[in-house]
């Protein structure tokens, strides 16, 4: 299982970030095709979000135009203003008479320490991320993952996709910035690594594992630095808002497999769900159950892919630098 969230037809991903000169932050935009239904599920104890109430099944608006994943803590929510303007200029949004109001839910992660606490995304980041949207997004220390960490390793943006037995595509894109660890300190392999997995890793040299454990012992507590895993799971199935929420809930199961501990009070773990309706046919309970299982698998693997693709930034070591012998 590999792939990308853009395997779901019509979904595009764009990044904008700044790294260097006191900056390590950015924004990732997930653009949805017209008619996409959205949902959300928030599990972390310290979320920073925008427009999540609008995704409640009891509210008026059905469709989502884009989702923004942002660095900069709550300051980064300003990036959604730029995304809204970019979409409105292209006629995308909820119709309100002669104008449209783009629907752009957003969530943020905490990366302020890597930015000197002052450099944060603004509306221009959201505009640039939307303008850069493509079907082949970069991974790792890009966009919202520019200043992300995963426990005591560099975090980043990752993606994965699954095709179910009924032919639906389910993809996930994650900005992995958890307080918890994605890598087992005793083995040097991701918690999610299992026999037959296609991460392309082998057990790293014991010397590297011991050295990494020593670095962790002397490092400051992770909660004092960074936290929150935010992401999007998308499918080409036609779902209702309540079914989208169920899909987002299931994706959190994948988060809990990949991160230990998950959903802490110091994390703002938030998952958005998008259903493009590109695959026809009613989605019955058995099919929805299958989609949810796929969402958990895709989200789990997207988290790991973001950590494996990350590069070291601002003195935070990436997996590839700390465990180079793990790569085949």
Q: What DSSP state is assigned to residue 173?
A: E
User: What tens digit of pLDDT does each residue of 70-85 get?
Assistant: 999 999 999 999 999 9
For the chain, domains (ranges, CATH) are 5-326 (3.60.70.12)
Of the two residues 120 and 218, the one the predictor is more confident about is 120
- Residue 37 reports pLDDT greater than 90: yes
Residues 6+ apart with CB under 8 A from 26: 15, 16, 17, 18, 19, 71, 121, 125, 129, 142, 143, 144, 145, 146, 147
**Mean pLDDT (whole number) for 43-69:** 95
- How far apart, in whole angstroms, are the C-alpha atoms of residue 66 and residue 155? 23
Q: Are 234 and 248 in contact (CB under 8 A)?
A: no
Pick the closest to residue 26 from 137, 119, 164, 152 (CA basis): 119
- Residue 4 reports pLDDT greater than 60: yes
Please report which confidence band the pLDDT of residue 281 belongs to, taking 50, 70 and 90 as the band edges: low
Question: What pTM, to 2 d.p., does this model score?
Answer: 0.95
Q: Are 39 and 247 in contact (CB under 8 A)?
A: yes
The DSSP H or E segment spanning 217 is: helix 206-218
**Mean pLDDT (whole number) for 29-51:** 96
**How much is the pLDDT for 221?**
44
Please report which confidence band the pLDDT of residue 280 belongs to, taking 50, 70 and 90 as the band edges: low
DSSP state string for 2-53? ---GGGSTT-EEEEEEEEETTEEEEEEEEE--TT-EEEEEE-SSS--EES-G
User: What tens digit of pLDDT does each residue of 125-161 get?
Assistant: 999 999 999 999 999 999 999 999 999 999 999 999 9
Q: 71-88 burial by CB neighbour count: b if 16+ within 10 A, else e?
A: bbbbbbbbbbbbbbebbe
**Mean pLDDT (whole number) for 90-103:** 95
User: What tens digit of pLDDT does each residue of 225-244 get?
Assistant: 568 999 999 999 999 999 99
User: What tens digit of pLDDT does each residue of 171-218 get?
Assistant: 999 999 999 999 999 999 999 998 766 688 999 999 999 998 876 655
């Amino acid at each position: 299982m590999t792939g990308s969230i853009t395997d779901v037809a019509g979904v595009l991903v764009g990044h904008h970030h700044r790294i260097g000169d006191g900056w390590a932050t950015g924004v990732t935009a997930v653009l949805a095709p017209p008619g996409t239904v959205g949902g959300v599920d928030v599990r972390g104890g310290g979320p920073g979000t925008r427009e999540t109430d609008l995704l409640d099944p009891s509210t008026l608006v059905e469709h989502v135009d884009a989702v923004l994943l942002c660095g900069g803590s709550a300051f980064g929510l300003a990036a959604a203003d730029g995304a809204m303007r970019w979409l409105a200029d292209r006629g995308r949004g909820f119709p309100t008479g002669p104008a449209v109001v783009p629907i752009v839910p957003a969530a943020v992660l905490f990366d302020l320490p890597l930015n000197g606490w002052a450099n944060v995304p603004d509306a221009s980041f959201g505009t640039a991320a939307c303008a850069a949207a493509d079907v082949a997004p970069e991974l790792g220390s890009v966009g919202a993952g520019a200043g992300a960490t995963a426990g005591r390793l560099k975090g980043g943006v990752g993606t994965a996709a699954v095709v179910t037995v009924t032919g639906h595509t389910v993809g996930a894109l994650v900005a992995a910035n958890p307080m918890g660890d994605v890598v087992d300190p005793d083995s040097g392999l991701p918690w999610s690594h299992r026999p037959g997995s296609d991460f392309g890793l082998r057990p790293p040299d014991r010397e590297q594992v011991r050295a990494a454990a020593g670095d962790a012992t002397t490092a400051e507590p992770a909660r004092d630095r960074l936290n929150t895993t935010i992401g999007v799971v998308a499918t080409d199935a036609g779902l209702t808002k309540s079914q989208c929420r169920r899909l987002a809930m299931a994706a959190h199961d994948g988060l809990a497999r990949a991160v230990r501990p998950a959903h802490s009070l110091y994390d703002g773990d938030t998952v958005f769900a998008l259903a493009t309706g590109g695959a026809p046919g009613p989605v019955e309970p058995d099919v929805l159950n299958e989609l949810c299982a796929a969402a958990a698998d895709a989200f789990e693997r997207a988290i790991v892919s973001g950590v494996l693709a990350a590069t070291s930034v601002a003195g935070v070591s990436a997996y590839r630098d700390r465990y180079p012998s793990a790569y085949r």
